[in-house]
Copies of this chain bind each other. A is one copy, B any other.
Amino acid sequence: MTTTSHTLAMIAGGVATPAGFRAAGISAGIKASGKPDLALIVSDRPATAAAVFTTNKAQAAPVLVSREHLAASQGTARAIVTNSGCANACTGEDGLRVARGMAAATADLIGCPAEQVLVASTGVIGVSLSLDKIRTALPRGMAALGADQGAAAAQAIMTTDPFPKEAAICVSIGGRDVRIGGTAKGSGMIEPMMATMLGFLTTDAAVPLPVLQRVLREVVDNTFNAITVDGECSTNDCVMILANGASGVTIDDASYQAFAQALETVCLRLALGIVRGGEGATKLITITVTGAASGSEARTAAKAIANSPLVKTAVHGGDPNWGRLIAVAGRAGVAFDLSRAAVTIGSIELFKDGRPFDEQAPEAAKYLKNDDINIAVDLGSGSASATVWTCDLSAEYVRINAEYRT
């Protein structure tokens, strides 16, 4: 197998940027604020579709319905319909009726089978979603569809997000261009595990279904699954990708790496957007764990550090309290050797070979005034490593979540 040479370039845009896709974002009156809350992503031809969903055992109705539709359509979809302001989770039989109704109404307007429409919802859990409001708004949504409306769709899926997240890339494979676009939302209840909050990806490449499923799973594991805001895994997490082939380029073994790299670039951009826009976040923290006994132990330790409220508040306060990093590594349930462990904040070594260098703390405190923080912890127990991204924990996180519904 030879690998086709390729070039990558980030481009402006999002889900409607690849050829043959249009998007819309409108207000359906689900949010009391009247802000946009209904998004459509439509391909002008049947697209190959793959998705990864939350591992939470309390799965929301739209997750169950999208799974059903992907199975029934054998991985073919024309559209994604999604709302914010209501998660349609823990809503029983009635919730399933509403999720199926959203898909059916969208399919009617497009003129495709209902199982070729995927559904997603995000917002408050346990509140009924009004199918009437969605049915009433959908024709307006169809009329608003445009190749220049990706940003509107990105707006319409936001809940507590402080800004919309979208990204697009052009990858030139053997002289022919393929585009990948994406949008994501998520700010709290973020530790996606096997998926993320909501992420929607489109590409005008033709990608055979098994290849699309494989590349999505691999890329999500290194991007959306490597972030955490608050260690919470939602009932509604999903990442969906539609590949409609409008570019005329088919992804094969030779171009797989180019496509995977491009997709990972888009997904990482979106995932880091979620972390930067984490509830109350003021800093993006990159945590690298080295010296682990295995890759999985490295990831476990990095996630434990990333979810530690003591680490997150210390970074928030600009306090180089490296002892908390050691304490978390020591309780993370992974191999750890204190006499060989090390902690580095930025490029400043604060602990090494079993002894502290606390005299470096003032320099580390100065470094912590930056917005982008790198923390490295060596477990002293092997040669595996992992990187995880998180944000700091601020009083604003408490305020947002203490007042979410009140």
A interface residues, Cβ below 8 angstroms from B: 55-59, 87, 89-94, 124-128, 188-189, 193, 230-235, 308-310, 313-314, 316-319, 321-324, 326-331, 336, 338, 341, 350-351, 354-356, 358, 365, 393-395, 397-406
Contacts and interface: CB of A to CB of B under 8 A. Distances in A.
A68 to B, nearest CB: 17
A371 B244 CA distance: 56
A145 to B, nearest CB: 32
A405 B233 CA distance: 32
Contacts of A351: 90, 126
B313 A397 contact: yes
A397 B280 CA distance: 14
Given A59-B330, A233-B327, 15 more contacts: A57-B330, A57-B338, A91-B356, A124-B323, A193-B331, A233-B331, A235-B327, A309-B393, A314-B402, A319-B402, A319-B403, A319-B404, A319-B405, A395-B398, A398-B398
Contacts of A317: 401-404, 406
Nearest to A353: B92
Contacts of A234: 327
Given A56-B331, A358-B127, A404-B314, A323 B397 contact: no
B358 A401 contact: no
A90 B56 contact: no
Contacts of A356: 90-92, 126-128
Contacts of A323: 87, 89-90, 124-126, 235
Contacts of A188: 310
Contacts of A231: 308-309
Contacts of A406: 317-319, 365
Nearest to A232: B310
9 contacts: A57-B331, A57-B336, A230-B310, A232-B310, A233-B327, A319-B402, A319-B405, A321-B405, A365-B406
A92 B355 contact: yes
A120 to B, nearest CB: 16
A400 B341 CA distance: 27
Contacts of A126: 322-323, 326, 350-351, 356, 358
Contacts of A87: 323
B193 A58 contact: no
A233 B328 CA distance: 7
Contacts of A400: 313
A324 B126 CA distance: 9
A344 B232 CA distance: 21
A193 B327 CA distance: 14
Given A126-B322, A358-B127, A308 B58 contact: no
B125 A230 contact: no
Nearest to A379: B57
A371 to B, nearest CB: 16
Nearest to A315: B402
Contact of A309 (B92, B309, B404, B405): B309
Contacts of A358: 126-127
